[in-house]
Structure 1
Amino acid sequence: MRILQWLFGGGRNVLKETVEVFRENAEAGAVRDADYSQAALAQYAAEFHARSNRTRFDSLADGLNRLVRPAVTLCVLLPIPITMIWPGHMAIAIASLALLPVGYWAIVGTVTSFYYGGRMQLKAQEFHTSLAATVANAPRIIETIDSLREFTSDSPGAADPGTDTELSEAATETSENPAVRAWQERGNE
């Protein structure tokens, strides 16, 4: 009785405490997860609450930040229809760009690469992730392709009827089917 009282008595559970060294207490883990979710939601709500107290300048700056990518995209693609509609004006505009110093183009290239570089890196990482998933599926896909190749007409032996001797023997065999047997007997008459 003293052993059981020592294990489970006195407001302590030695067995439970020992098990929790090796395995997480599910109830305590759920409480931690709930606290984490509540803290994340509170932070998210605080972020949106802060947005509602923004000034007009904050809204203007935010709007201008969102216009950069569409503006650059339009500046790259817009010369195509302009050249088709007003080729003379576009030739003058392009010739005038040649008057800009090389240092200006270096600054434009640097700003553009820094601005788009982060996005490109993110897309490259997403591409590598999808590539890894594709490579992981490759053995299954190759197995499927190999099994389907057996049914193509250019596969060796796919439509091999055998020798003429085998065909004539198969044609002269007696059959258990009464209709086939009657047809074979009519052919022999």
Structure 2
Amino acid sequence: MGLIQQVMSFVFGDGRNVVAETVEVFRENADKGAERAANVQSETLRQFAAEFAHPRKGIFDRLVDGFNRLPRPMLALGTIGLFVSAMFDPEWFASRMVGIALVPEPLWWLMGAIVSFYFGARHQAKGQEFQRSVVQTVAMRQGLKAKAPDAPQTPDNPALADWQANHDD
């Protein structure tokens, strides 16, 4: 075997491409990257489909969700309304701003805390709801039935099952 054939066999032999493998350490393989991106998009769409597959419970839940969606748009539209009112009736706007300037600083701190806790609690609740839906989606995808966290679980250990049966009150 010649020297060139040995070098080529070393670099490209055994179904491997040492050059390509080395380059992939420093630069992403475009084909594999596109495949991963397509998989991410497919999984995202599948998750959204699973999330919205379950209808809302009842009229009360829909009504409460509707009220919970009001504060942010009202704050935004109210702020825009202040700008508009300042342009149309500067005297009215100035008298309202004098009133706001007279509010004591501790009351502003209290207002900030209330608004922060409201939006923070809502953000956390929505985040936990999203995590719960992700777990249910993964469980459905794997063919498993998602269990509620407080549901009693049946152990796979027969001795433990027997002990639990004898000690349940």
TM superposition score normalised by structure 1: 0.37
Q: Which structure: larger Rg?
A: 1
Structure (1/2) with the larger helix percentage: 1
Bigger RCO of structures 1 and 2 (CA < 8 A, at least 6 apart): 2
TM superposition score normalised by structure 2: 0.40
